Amino acid sequence: MKRILRIAALFALATAVVPSGATAVEGDLVYVASQSAASVSVIDAGTQEVVATVDLTELGFTPNCKPHHVAVEPDGSHWYVSLIADWRVLKFDRDNNLVGQVEFETPGMLSIDPVNDVLYVGRSMAAVSPPMRIGVIERSSMDIEEVDVFFARPHALMAAREGGRVYTASLAENRMAAVEPAEEVLELVDVPGNLHTFVQFALSPDGQTLVAGGQMSGEILVFDVSDPLQPELKQSLSIGGHPWHPVYSPDGGTIYFPQRTSNAVAVIDTASWEVRDTITGGGLVEPHGSAISADGRWLYVSGRNTSGEYGETPEGATPMGTLNIIDTQSGEVAGVVDVPAYAAGVGAATR
């Protein structure tokens, strides 16, 4: 396959005012997968500019490949993207060169093991009846093994802080699993309540608390994972609005939950498990993916904007997506960057 990378800042910065003295660190890179545009945008958060656009069709992938989620190495040396419709997980280097790929049916969420040479991959929401397995990829070689989880549509996915373990949960039933692939250990956990449809997890910085969002129930479920193979539900909170991809603040005191159908981000205090604030405005239309800067000052949230509520869409064109740069101190959208259509998963690294 001919490997060509078109690097260009194709999309202009949307009009936004950044408060005086409040700017993200220049060089903080944010990666946004545009699911309807077969591309990944690389954004410098400090300058709020698209510094590279990886056009996946020019790398030989189909116009309908549907890039969905992005995971970034902790040191920023490589990044990964799942292609739902082309059944691939791709690996790129820091310079956005394609350096590896592996086949996996309808890949969705990705999570990097922080200790071991492993990338975990789940199944996409678009997959109606995929295999009841998750993928375990050796990052250095991009070799893959599939591990049974024994429930339908494993989607939510999060690697444990200490490595060697991953948590996953179902879209189709109230069931989750703690999996240690190398040890061939699998513990299944039934979760009470009406159908939740688990979208994604967030894991606290100390690794003791796992939080899940339920699309159908509108609930946030808080699990104690101090016994790592036996997650115990200790708290639930109804926020509605289809809780999507959450992220913790680095100090563990706050968790941010995009609410896809509410065009908002819920700011939740993890001491009281109450909603402390709600962020709206900017390009937060159908917010989807999230990431946070290393110091916790800047929250990055994508907006699908498939309704076209944000910005101007020429007649016959597909509405653009957005990346919202949120100042966590003020709780306001400090900048909006336009990206191609249906902005979905977000990953971040500091170079």
Could you tell me which residues are beta bridge partners of residue 67? 83
The pTM of the full predicted model, rounded to 2 decimals, is: 0.93
**Does pLDDT of 38 surpass 90?**
yes
- pLDDT tens-digit map of 44-58: 999 999 999 999 999
What phi, psi does 213 have (nearest 5°)? -110, 135
- How, if at all, do strands 287-292 and 274-279 pair? unpaired
- Amino acid at site 332: E
- Residue 179 inside a domain? The answer is yes
pLDDT of residue 15: 32
Mean pLDDT value across the chain: 93
pLDDT digits (tens, 9 = 90+) for 249-285: 999 999 999 999 999 999 999 999 999 999 999 999 9
- Whether 204 maps to a domain, the answer reads yes
Domain assignment of residue 115, given as a range:
28-350
CATH number, position 47: 2.130.10.10
Q: Looking at residues 302-330, what average pLDDT do you find?
A: 96
Would you state the structure tokens that stand for residue 28, as one six-digit string?
């903080």
Q: What is the pLDDT of residues 217-236, one digit of tens each?
A: 999 999 999 999 999 999 99
d(CA 50, CA 120): 28
Which helix H or strand E contains 326, and what residues bound it?
A: strand 321-327
54 domain-assigned: yes
pLDDT given for residue 8 in this prediction: 33
Give yes or no for residue 146 having a pLDDT over 90.
Answer: yes
pLDDT tens digits, 166-209? 999 999 999 999 999 999 999 999 999 999 999 999 999 999 99
Is the predicted pLDDT of residue 130 greater than 80, yes or no? yes
Strands (E), 60-97: 67-72, 78-83, 88-93
Q: Kindly state the DSSP code that residue 320 receives in the 8-state scheme.
A: P
Q: Which residue has the tokens 């036996």?
A: 230
How confident is the model over 148-171, as pLDDT tens digits?
A: 999 999 999 999 999 999 999 999
pLDDT digit string (tens) for 57-88? Answer: 999 999 999 999 999 999 999 999 999 999 99
Residue 212 lies in a domain: yes
Number of domains in the chain: 1
- Within-domain flag for 5: no
Beta bridge partners of 34: 39, 343
